[in-house]
Structure 1
Amino acid sequence: RVRLFLDVLAAVAHAHNRLILHRDLKPSNILVTAAGEVKLLDFGIAKLLHDATVPAAATEITKAAGRAFTLQYAAPEQLQDGDVTTATDVYALGVLLYVLLGGVHPTAAFTTAPLDQMRAVIEAEPKRLSDAVLLNSAGGAAAVKLKQARALRGDLDNIVARALKKAPTARYANAALLADDLRRYLNDEPVTARPDAIGYRSAKSLRRHRLGVAAGSVVVLALTVGIGAALWEANEARQQRVQAEGLIEFMLGDLRKKLQPVGRLDVLDAVGAQALAYYAAQDAGRLDADSLGRRARALHLIGEIAERRGSLDEALRVFQRAADSTAELMARYPQDGQRIFDHAQSVYWVGYMARQRGQVPDAEASFRKYQELAQQLTRLDPNKLDWRIETAYAAQNLGVVYLESSRSAQALKAFVETRDAWAGIVEARPEHGFELGNTWGWIAKAREALGEFDAALDAQRTKIDVLRKLPDADKNRIVQRHLAIAASELARLQLALGRYPLAGRAGQDAVDKFEVLVATDRANAEWLAQMTLARVILAEIQLALGERAAASASLDRVAADTVRLRSTDGTRNKWNITLLGSLLLHRLALAESPAPQRQDLEAYLATVESAVSGGKPLDAEQTRIASAVELALGDLLARDAQPAAARGHWQGAAERLQATADRGELPSMTLLAQARLRLGAKAGARSLAQRIEVSLYRHPAYAELRQRLAAAAGAAPGTP
């Protein structure tokens, strides 16, 4: 029954996410189709949660509608003409759940006179659900009722009681939070609902029976009122905190999912700022476990929003604060799987931000800690699939770090391990097909780094095939993003193989896909950056095809978007080094006015040195781009009759490239051969070219190398 009720909650949560209240939830308004799908009926008195800008006429209509309800399922605030919120629907859901599980109404029989029903809703405290089952005269044999009561006692009692609180602020803030607690109950995880504190019941009793208490001893009364009031105030403060934190979770979670598709994440900036101020004023050491958990979840959401805007420094600070909260929780409950899991998520985000900032050693350290936590979870419960999923994520994260630090063989091993793990997981949970497809993409990257271009193409195509077969793939923006990435990777691979027309089609397809995606969320800096990188690849292909006008137009867009990205966060290697360096090189290749000047290249290389000295080492791709810029600067200096300065930059490029070339990375070997040729080491350049020749690598840079070698040898082009 609880699982069936979760479907009802999902339907109500969907309405709440659209900022709609139902306000008349009852059995006759809930339809279960033959296919088992839950439908909500009669939205005639539903209310759209607009702000003060709603026209007066519309406001009057909703006010009038607000007085329409079904008495047996109405919340106290509806009967008292108070404000209705998502918590109003939660009360009706609590009544439904109480009746579904207990067979009786929580406050009055359905046959009670309307006035008595209204009074009961406002004044009567519902019996505990398990007690109501035992007292239900129509509940069947005593043994059956006792068994049912035992099943309900504890968490279900507390969950239903919280949904039926008289004060809206004491209930779950929305249907999604109620559903979350029920899922926790079904999964044998700690729930957020707790039994009423003694102070709460004492305060309620004092309010209901003032006259009876007044007849007692004055001394006892003073003592009782003093203690009761203090406990009541503390409990009210706790309830207000729970409600405030629940609202923060709703706004940063469910509401964010509604705003993201229409490109209005900026609306949540103020919410995030206020939430940060709210949490900054708290002493984490004095918070209970539930509050610490809510604090960490909210900080994760705030950090994600900051990261999407491109504010990496802010995001890292927020994620670190979340990690402090989850570490405190884990210290209190070192054998609680959920607390370990929560801390693992915080550790992951700290590592992810380090990777985004180009701090690979820090990222690797965090990802190793994440893996240790995942392994700790599997030791606690080896059969729990959720923990196996965490170990798969952990292996993949480390594989990415290995790949970006040119440990390609180690990366491939990690990705193959991850792929096999996901393949087993997908059999039990098909929804994780996305992760399986994504891992195929990483396998492709590792194969490419090892010079296995055909295998890399096959892996990318497998990724595309897996992703396209996912349910609602065409509507899922995350899937569409990865399909766009895969198209761009196909374009890059075809370019590396010298198949320019195929590369051009794939490159244009990637940019088109990203254009559609970015239009749904223009505040998402990461998506904009990925689209810009895809356009860089397309411009390179257009240059190889001789489509100069098209390449020029592509580079104009790259320039504008790079400026925009760097204005949001000027610290990211991906933007300062990868994008800006690629733009400079392609502008030079286009050789049109205004071409980059020496000072542009010198400023870029100064940025590179600043990043490296600041603890942000270059990945393999950034190393190649910086080296290519250094070669180009040396060429400009040689043209200006400054041979010593030119040689210094050519030598600098050779030194940068040596390590990755020694590992057999063909693009690095090609550039190193170019550097050696400029330095007069023809034999060394020719040796590298011969090693490249036996591979499938036929990038335009290799074609240029062959021409330079032929010119240096005084031979016709055609031999290295």
Structure 2
Amino acid sequence: MNDRDPRSGEAPPPDPRLLRIDALFEQALDLEPAARTALLDRETADDPSLRAEVEALLELAASEAPQLQPDAVREGPLLRAWADAHPQAPADEDVSGRQLGQWQLLQPLGHGGMGTVYLARRADAEFQQLGALKRLHMTLGSREFLHRFAQERQILASLNHPGIARLLDGGRDEDGHPFLVMEYVEGEPLDRYCDTRRLDIGRRLDLFVRICETVAHAHRHLIVHRDIKPSNIVVTRDGEVKLLDFGIAKVLGDADAPLQPMTRTAMRMFTPEYAAPEQVAGGTATTATDVYQLGLLLYELLCGQRAQDAGSGSAAALERAVCEIEPPRPSQRVDADAAAARAATAASLRRRLRGDLDNIVSKALRKAPERRYQSALALAEDIGRWHRRRPVQARPEGFGYRGWKFVRRHPFGIAASTAMLALLVAYAVTVTRQANAIAHERDRAQAEAIKAQQVQALVLQLFEGADPTLSGGNQLTARELLDRGWQGIERELGAQPEVRAELLDTVGEAYRQLGEYDRARPLLDSAIETTAALATSRPLLHARAQRSRGRLCIDEGDYDCADALLLQALATYRAGVAGPDTDVARTLEELGRSRFHASDLAAAERYHRDALAMWRQLHGEEHADVATSLDNLGTVLRHQGDYAAAEPLLSEALALRRRLLPKTHPYLARSLSNLAATRVNLGEYDSAEALYREALALMRQSRGARHPLVALVMNNMARLLQAKRDFEGAEAMLRQALEIRRETMGERHPEVAMNLNDLGLALAESGDPAAAEQYYRQALDAYPADHPWRSATVFNLGMLAEKRGDLAAAERHYRDALERQRIDYGEDHERVGIDLNRIGIVLHRQGRMDEAERSIRQALTIFRKRLPADHPRLALVLVPLGELLTDRGRNDEAVVLLEEALKLRRDAFGDDDARTVAAAQALRQARERRDQ
């Protein structure tokens, strides 16, 4: 349909002066100020008003983005002149009630860049029909707008697809305002439809594929939509998807005379938050533009966040936000609300988006159009491959392309960012040189060159995060740096197995340290596989891969796997050296860590003592490795119940680390937490809380808020809060820790189970036994069948049974826990004492006095051996023993014990604490019976 002037019936010719202004504006826009002034001096010397028009447009382009501020555009001299010549109604005038052609306007449905949309009813007598009538706002009216509006009618009339709202009618009203009537679609915008129904990722992707197929239909008709966004996509009650508003669509290969814009700046037509880079830069819109906008739509469907933030800044800021800044991956933008709207937890949603879906979105959102998916159907087909668990076509962009773009934009950024990961570079370079020293001389030069290239490539991509256009002006985390760098270079690694093994091990270990176990595992497995073929010629390289994978086995709770790998690595290292060796000491340390987590505390102590002796031989006393070994050994002793021996080792480790390490080093946080736990065991609660709070702040700062070591500190601190009767604070902290652990470790892991147990304990002590039992049962399901920590949960189930009055069940649970804990911890461990104490209490309540007294006295012997004389936990045994002796008529003995218990609790908790009140009441009863 051709646009005609309503007065002449002919298409009006373009205004030569407007064309001249636009041409000068286009030339001047890309020039530096001096060159721009020279151009205007030369071209407008005889026409000051022409210069004024161009300068006004240039000023407008440098100010707030005009496409976001239509009032500012209207105030420009060029458009003001047009408005003077074409008086019109205000843009926001509500003309409800008027009749346009055969259509009666009922009410506004919405306002858009080109017009207002009304709900309309066909007013003739032939049939009843509702439609969505769009009436053009003439506030920005121009010949181009009139042409565009006529073009929209032709576009919609040519499209016949169930996913596109049909054109019903069109024309002009008596004032000359163009309008067209489209099928009225009742439904909800796509994003609201998905969120209110809590559609999971699979169902959202099904809808998205249908949208891609609709867009592909338009592309086959040589039509580009150019404004794909959630509000332009409606889902009906029947679940049908309708794509609306081809109002700014462009016909590819339009044979008509080209449209003549007033100015490029004033007439850019797009929604900034959903604009493609070529739209913002004033380039040509193609099918790749729609692919980019489909990528923006997919990003929002997956994680609930917009990929790009246009803000309300200048045109330059908008161009930077859209054309330069790479959005974070969808998996990095997940929060709890978004996950709930997708019927998932934050952890499970992150895991599902990670990898292929992240890569699919990234490919659709590449800044260069030619590097995106070739079509909307190609994007839909990759989603289909993901659904079928087949390899997808999307891969991270190669290093060569991104590296060239980065260096060109920021030649000095690489040098500045090098300091951020200097240790990683030094490590990679060092192991590369060691490998070359062992390699055959014939291949030495070639291997050196390849390794240097690969290390350089990895480092450059890791440091690319220093580019502020990629990080949005923020410093990227170490995890984000690794994600950007490693995924781009992994497939570019050469055929050199030594290079591959070293880089796989280095990056896999980095991910492990970050708590990204799912990402570390395939890298470290690949390193094992790669070095296995080199075990004869490069045994130390294979041992290193075994040790790294063994570390990850410990983190994942597979201690048999860890022991097997670490023992093999230890044998290899010992075979290659004669005396004290760093690798031997480090492997001993990891074996001690594995045995500790498996609760084989005797073996753990032995390994850690051997490691400490070797570190002292290698370094003396003042060294960070010595501090680590002290910390490990002290932690083992604490778990053995030897708090008096553990405390000085842990204090020494912390003091060493404070002297030797940076103030933000994560090992400081670990020392603080371990020492705090021991201070809790020793009853020094105020000191322990201060240490925990410092540890938590430092661990969050150094590791990130979602790291499993943060969860470890939170779990330990929650136990302190429970001891101080702050059950609400303890419960909140335990829930946060549990979320982090499930996210990083999965559902079945000893530390997840321990966290569930502690949460149940907090709920039990705060008065919610039903909820507590649920968490205890979940903990038992999460533990491996023979894990030693299970006994603590069995004991806690006994506590619940005792509170319910089911003394037989309570005794059974306590005895089961006692049997296992004697095996795991020995006869005189504090945990054994706790079991004996509770068994004695239950026996007392059953009237089995002799058995009860024997059990409680055994517990008191263990407590006095393990705890200082002024420790308040002694009262846990002193009070029930005093009550038992009172009931047996041995009141003098009871009073002595209860007086000791009251003093301990009063000193620790004050007179008003419930525990102190209970001890005072028991003492008062014993005294009354004694004095009778």
Q: Is 1:532 matched with 2:756?
A: yes
Hey, which of these two has a bigger chunk of helix by percent? 1
**Partner of residue 794, structure 2:** 580
SS of the residue corresponding to residue 711 of structure 1 reads: helix
**Partner of residue 290, structure 1:** 541
Q: Is 1:555 matched with 2:778?
A: no
Gap change, CA 1:360 and 1:255, over 3 Å in 2: closer
Q: Is the 8 A contact 1:464 1:483 kept in 2?
A: yes
Tell me how far 1:374 sits from its aligned partner.
Answer: 2.5
Q: Pick from 582, 593, 606: which aligns with 1:341?
A: 582
**Partner of residue 458, structure 1:** 690
**Partner of residue 837, structure 2:** 628
Could you tell me which amino acid in structure 2 is paired with residue 601 of structure 1? E
**Partner of residue 70, structure 1:** none
Q: How far, CA to CA, are the matches of 1:443 and 1:651 in structure 2?
A: 30
Q: Is the 8 A contact 2:680 2:720 kept in 1?
A: no
**Partner of residue 372, structure 1:** 613
- The residue correspondences of 1:298-313 to structure 2 (distance < 5 A) are 298-301=549-552, 303-304=553-554, 307-308=555-556, 310-313=557-560
Residues 64-120 of structure 1, C-alpha deviations (whole Å, 9 max, x = no match) = xx9xxxxxxxxxxxxxxxx999998599989x99xxxxxxxxxxxxxxxxxxxxxxx
Tell me how far 1:626 sits from its aligned partner.
Answer: 1.1
Q: How far, CA to CA, are the matches of 1:504 and 1:714 in structure 2?
A: 34
SS of the residue corresponding to residue 908 of structure 2 reads: coil
Which runs of no fewer than 5 residues in structure 2 stay unpaired? Answer: 1-327, 333-353, 360-365, 374-378, 386-391, 408-420, 448-493
SS of the residue corresponding to residue 615 of structure 2 reads: helix
Q: Is the 8 A contact 1:351 1:362 kept in 2?
A: yes
Q: How far, CA to CA, are the matches of 2:775 and 2:425 in structure 1?
A: 49
Residues 634-687 of structure 1, C-alpha deviations (whole Å, 9 max, x = no match) = 13442xxx4444444334434443422565432134314423542544144235
Could you tell me which amino acid in structure 2 is paired with residue 341 of structure 1? T
Q: Pick from 408, 411, 420: which aligns with 2:643?
A: 408
Q: Pick from 488, 500, 505: which aligns with 2:718?
A: 488
Q: Is the 8 A contact 1:582 1:625 kept in 2?
A: no
Tell me how far 1:293 sits from its aligned partner.
Answer: 2.5
Q: Is the 8 A contact 1:605 1:626 kept in 2?
A: yes
Q: Is the 8 A contact 1:351 1:363 kept in 2?
A: yes
Could you tell me which amino acid in structure 2 is paired with residue 685 of structure 1? L
Q: Which fold has the larger relative contact order, with Cα–Cα distance below 8 Å and residues 6 or more apart in sequence?
A: 1
**Partner of residue 315, structure 1:** 562
Q: Is the 8 A contact 1:367 1:394 kept in 2?
A: yes
Which runs of no fewer than 5 residues in structure 1 stay unpaired? Answer: 1-10, 23-39, 48-52, 60-65, 67-82, 98-177, 205-237, 496-502, 543-547
- The residue correspondences of 1:573-612 to structure 2 (distance < 5 A) are 574-576=789-791, 578-589=792-803, 591=804, 596-599=806-809, 601-602=811-812, 604-612=814-822
Could you tell me which amino acid in structure 2 is paired with residue 714 of structure 1? E
Could you tell me which amino acid in structure 2 is paired with residue 531 of structure 1? N
Q: Is the 8 A contact 2:721 2:727 kept in 1?
A: yes
- The residue correspondences of 1:3-22 to structure 2 (distance < 5 A) are none
Residues 280-334 of structure 1, C-alpha deviations (whole Å, 9 max, x = no match) = x889676433333233323333x23xx52x3333433333333333333444xx5
**Partner of residue 413, structure 2:** none
Tell me how far 1:488 sits from its aligned partner.
Answer: 0.3
Q: How far, CA to CA, are the matches of 2:534 and 2:834 in structure 1?
A: 47
Number of matched residues?
Answer: 502
Gap change, CA 1:56 and 1:536, over 3 Å in 2: closer
**Partner of residue 654, structure 2:** 419
Q: Is the 8 A contact 1:404 1:619 kept in 2?
A: no
Hey, which of these two has a bigger chunk of strand by percent? 2
Q: Is the 8 A contact 1:528 1:561 kept in 2?
A: no
- The residue correspondences of 1:173-212 to structure 2 (distance < 5 A) are 182-184=425-427, 190-193=433-436, 197=440
TM-score of the superposed pair, with normalisation by structure 2: 0.45
Taking only the aligned residue pairs, the percentage that are identical comes to 12
SS of the residue corresponding to residue 358 of structure 1 reads: coil
Q: How far, CA to CA, are the matches of 1:490 and 1:611 in structure 2?
A: 23
Could you tell me which amino acid in structure 2 is paired with residue 360 of structure 1? L
Q: Is the 8 A contact 1:611 1:617 kept in 2?
A: yes
Question: Whose radius of gyration is greater, 1 or 2?
Answer: 2
**Partner of residue 897, structure 2:** 685
Q: Is the 8 A contact 2:882 2:897 kept in 1?
A: yes
Q: Pick from 354, 371, 374: which aligns with 2:595?
A: 354
Q: How far, CA to CA, are the matches of 1:376 and 1:602 in structure 2?
A: 51
SS of the residue corresponding to residue 786 of structure 2 reads: coil
Q: How far, CA to CA, are the matches of 1:436 and 1:508 in structure 2?
A: 26
Q: Is the 8 A contact 1:484 1:514 kept in 2?
A: yes
Q: Pick from 573, 580, 595: which aligns with 1:326?
A: 573
Q: Is the 8 A contact 1:460 1:489 kept in 2?
A: no
Q: How far, CA to CA, are the matches of 1:290 and 1:353 in structure 2?
A: 22
Gap change, CA 1:368 and 1:84, over 3 Å in 2: same
Gap change, CA 1:398 and 1:647, over 3 Å in 2: same
**Partner of residue 163, structure 1:** none
- The residue correspondences of 1:469-548 to structure 2 (distance < 5 A) are 470=701, 473=704, 475-478=705-708, 480-482=710-712, 484-485=714-715, 487-495=717-725, 503-521=726-744, 522-523=746-747, 525-542=749-766, 548=767
Q: Is the 8 A contact 1:20 1:46 kept in 2?
A: no
Tell me how far 1:407 sits from its aligned partner.
Answer: 3.5
Tell me how far 1:555 sits from its aligned partner.
Answer: 0.9
Residues 426-449 of structure 1, C-alpha deviations (whole Å, 9 max, x = no match) = 4xx3440x3323323333333333
Could you tell me which amino acid in structure 1 is paired with residue 584 of structure 2? H
Q: Is the 8 A contact 2:592 2:605 kept in 1?
A: yes
Gap change, CA 1:554 and 1:342, over 3 Å in 2: farther
Could you tell me which amino acid in structure 1 is paired with residue 758 of structure 2? A
TM-score of the superposed pair, with normalisation by structure 1: 0.57
Could you tell me which amino acid in structure 1 is paired with residue 856 of structure 2? W
Tell me how far 1:268 sits from its aligned partner.
Answer: 8.5
Gap change, CA 1:619 and 1:182, over 3 Å in 2: farther
**Partner of residue 649, structure 1:** 855
Gap change, CA 1:371 and 1:624, over 3 Å in 2: same
Q: Is the 8 A contact 1:464 1:486 kept in 2?
A: no
Gap change, CA 1:186 and 1:203, over 3 Å in 2: closer
Q: Is the 8 A contact 2:682 2:867 kept in 1?
A: no
Q: How far, CA to CA, are the matches of 1:327 and 1:43 in structure 2?
A: 56
